[in-house]
Structure 1
Amino acid sequence: MKSDNHYEVAFDAYLRQRGAAVVPVVESRRSYLDADEVKSPDFIVISPCAAKLVVDVKGRKFPGVGKGGKSRNSWQNWCEREDVESLLRWADKFGDGFRGVLAFVYDLALHIELPHRTPDVFVFRGRVYLLRGVSAIDYRAHMRTRSPRWGTVHLATDDFRTLVKPISHFLAPPPDVIELTTEAVLG
């Protein structure tokens, strides 16, 4: 986690407010998995409901600014291909139910009005954030190259709308934990 990155600081505060166990990863040096150099995640998270996450935060402004300084009302969801692959490798290495998640933390302009009770709107240090996530597995299955030169990828608008969830969705118990609980209660 970069302490000067307000998106990551807000995400950390949100997780702590939700009672999650949070390990912010210091990114000053590259990490290694086995003998390979690999990008570090931003956070390792275990929610109060036992969800286990490896998270990379992508901070975006909404609305964004396009060419010529023109306002751009799209939910930007691009990242580096390495971000996706690294999250999947870390989740696999941690094992036992860890999931890689790309967290899109949108810094909303103050004039933006969201529907009442929109989940995971977080006010922090004078800013309003909307916290959303996409499973790294789902992202990889649908990603498209954005810039070969920069190694960036993105999701088409329709795919993003289908796959994106409030970040609290990922903090809920994994489906197998819910099934076990239901069986224990009904069994």
Structure 2
Amino acid sequence: MTEETHDREAGVSLVELIVYVMLISIVLGTTAMILINSWTTQREVTSVSDATNRGQAMGSTIERAVRNGLAFDIDPTGTELRVRTSLDGNLACQAFLLTNGQARLALASSTLPTSSAAWTDWEQGIQQDGVTPYFADSGQVVTYSFEIRTDSAPVRIAGEVSTRSTPTGVSAPCW
């Protein structure tokens, strides 16, 4: 005689299947959240790094112009810096305009355009660092300060540079 026995342990019950699906869902959900947070953090870090690089390049350009400056002028609002340099060619006359939202740059071998609207669009995302003017001077020293917007906190760029050339005070033929 053969006796048939039904093994209750054979296969997976519905309750076990539901538990397995819930556990897998929790693990996959957690993994997805970690990946999403990692991508978001990476995007923010990349944005800050990019803004830092752009700001340092801007500061370096401003400092080079002033270091080689024979004469410079900052407008009363502190947003515009014009420099007559000892450099040759298109670098002889340089002008920088920083306003909320953008930076503009003008390079010329002689007279700079009077309207800043004709200047080259240099950078975007520029904003004022609190109430500090973009440009200020004290004798032959120029200070600059601005922020660049990023996906997280703004990056603050500031510097101070003095003329290395013997200042002549003569702005012609630049302005």
TM-score scaled by length of structure 1: 0.23
TM-score scaled by length of structure 2: 0.24
Instruction: Say which one has the larger Rg.
Output: 2
